[in-house]
Amino acid sequence: MILRVNPNRMELLRLRRRLQLARRGHKLLKDKQEELMRQFMALVVEAKRTREDVDRELEIAMHSFFSARLDSFQPEMEEALAFTNKKIDLKSRIEPIMNLRVPYFDCAVTGEFAYGFLDTDGDLDRALSMLSDLLPRMVRMAQLEKHVSMLAAELERTRRRVNALEHILIPSLQETIKYISTKLSELERGNLTRLMKVKEIVRKH
């Protein structure tokens, strides 16, 4: 597609500069896309594995909690659970991957459960200690999935930009440059013939 510009030397120079810039941008974006893709693939594999692990263990822990709940009175148990000395120590920082600012979490569970052992049974203990081991991994899973979704969005954007440059902007710039230069040389030829004609007329007189 030819851009709507005046076919003169000034435009030609301007378009040549634009083409150069577009090519450089395209190259940079392409590099960015490759790097993002490399990181993305590694992340996806890890996210998938962590998700499967967490899902499986969470199910076991929940079943065990469920059966503990069936064995004891609910109000007593809820009371037992409400008082807890467990503390979650969550450290978060935001670090860049390429131009994206993604969160990283570090999670540690400290402290003890503070319920009495009289009202509750072993299933509950098992379930809760499993959960407390699982929580840091759940946090890691959340982090990984967040990274995956943020990188995916960025990759999509980058891919669109690369494609727009590669298939629309750069070809149309090239075409326009070609159009202007043929137009200019056509004008030049026209001018030359006119001059020759004029010279001939002058010589005849």
- By the 10 Å C-beta count (0-12 exposed, 13-18 middle, 19+ buried), 196 is classed as exposed
Among the listed ranges 2-10, 21-29, 128-136, 181-189, the one in contact with other proteins (CB under 8 A) is 128-136
Does 90 bind other proteins (CB under 8 A)? Our answer is yes
CB of 172: closest distance to other proteins in angstroms?
Answer: 23
Is 111 within 8 Å of 86 (Cβ atoms)? Answer: yes
Structure tokens at 35: 């790097």
Give the SS3 label for residue 8.
coil
Nearer to other proteins, 18 or 126 (CB): 126
Q: What are phi and psi of 119, to 5 degrees?
A: -85, -10
Please tell me the total number of residues recorded for the chain in this structure.
Answer: 205
Q: If we measure between CA atoms, which residue out of 139, 148, 155, 35 comes closest to residue 102?
A: 148
Choose, by CB under 8 A, the member of 53, 73, 103, 108 that binds other proteins.
Answer: 103
Q: Which residues contact 184 (CB under 8 A, 6 or more apart)?
A: 7, 8, 9, 12
Q: How far apart, in Å, do the first and last CA atoms of the chain sit?
A: 49
Does 170 bind other proteins (CB under 8 A)? Our answer is no
Does 49 bind other proteins (CB under 8 A)? Our answer is no
Is 88 within 8 Å of 135 (Cβ atoms)? Answer: yes
Does 35 bind other proteins (CB under 8 A)? Our answer is no
Choose, by CB under 8 A, the member of 59, 79, 106, 186 that binds other proteins.
Answer: 59
Does 159 bind other proteins (CB under 8 A)? Our answer is yes
100 sits in which H/E element: strand 100-110
Does 70 bind other proteins (CB under 8 A)? Our answer is no
Please give the DSSP secondary-structure letter assigned to residue 165: I
Choose, by CB under 8 A, the member of 15, 22, 128, 173 that binds other proteins.
Answer: 128
Does 62 bind other proteins (CB under 8 A)? Our answer is yes
Give the SS3 label for residue 22.
helix
Does 109 bind other proteins (CB under 8 A)? Our answer is yes
Judged by CB under 8 A, the chain residues 172 through 201 that form the site for other proteins are none
CB count in 10 Å sphere of residue 151: 21
Does 106 bind other proteins (CB under 8 A)? Our answer is no
CB of 115: closest distance to other proteins in angstroms?
Answer: 8
Residues found near other proteins in the complex (CB under 8 A): 37, 40, 44, 47-48, 51, 54-55, 58-59, 61-63, 65-66, 69, 78, 81-82, 84, 86-88, 90, 92, 94, 101-103, 105, 107, 109, 111, 113, 115, 127-128, 131-132, 135, 138-139, 141-143, 145-146, 148-153, 155-156, 159
